[in-house]
Amino acid sequence: MRVWIDTDPGFDDLIALALAAESRLEMVGIGLVAGNAPLERIVQNALSITSAFGITAPVYAGADRPLVRPRMTAENVLGLGALGTIGASLPTSTQSLSAGHAVLELIRAAQEQPITLVALGPLTNLALALRLEPRLATWLEGIVLMGGSTDRGNHSAAAEFNFLADPEAASVVFSSGAKITMFGLNLTRQV
């Protein structure tokens, strides 16, 4: 399966990227979005993680803030930089950020060949891509995302961080007509 991973790597997304690296998934690109930490830190985290796990997919910086609201992070839960103590054990990156913007590169990749988008952070990049190119919703094989919850939140009693960080973006994505498979916080807590 060809996938584009859109992520805000803290230690939670580190595990997802490590699992993806060991799977049969063909990662065609990794888009980064501000969320668990500011975008500058997310870029550092992603490059260290891709180096650590031998991931060779191009890595692109994307949105540095939500569509409408002020930026928030999950560093109060995940620790400074969102990697906690794990961050200190990651190797120095041997990779560089790829030229181009994550939103535009996602659109380009989906035009070239069918891909599945795997969203692990706030949906800002995807919402921007859908606004720029509404046909993206039909070009994608599907969207698999981690967000929301059917029971309780992780940033407040009711709110899951990825949707809380950019609810307007989540609204754009869920209104797009794309085939969406949602894995809520309640499911990830079971895993």
Q: Give the integer Cα–Cα distance in Å for 134 and 138.
A: 8
Strand, coil or helix: 112: helix
Strand, coil or helix: 106: helix
Q: Which residue has the tokens 């230690």?
A: 11
Q: Which residue has the tokens 């039909």?
A: 138
| Catalytic residue chosen out of the listed positions 6, 8, 12, 166 | 8
Q: Where are the alpha helices (DSSP H) in the chain?
A: 11-21, 39-52, 75-78, 86-89, 102-112, 124-132, 136-139, 161-165, 167-174, 185-190
Cβ(39)–Cβ(150) under 8 Å? Answer: no
13 is catalytic: no
Tokens of 132: 């720029």
125 exposed, middle or buried (CB, 10 Å; 0-12, 13-18, 19+)?
Answer: buried
Residues classed as catalytic: 8
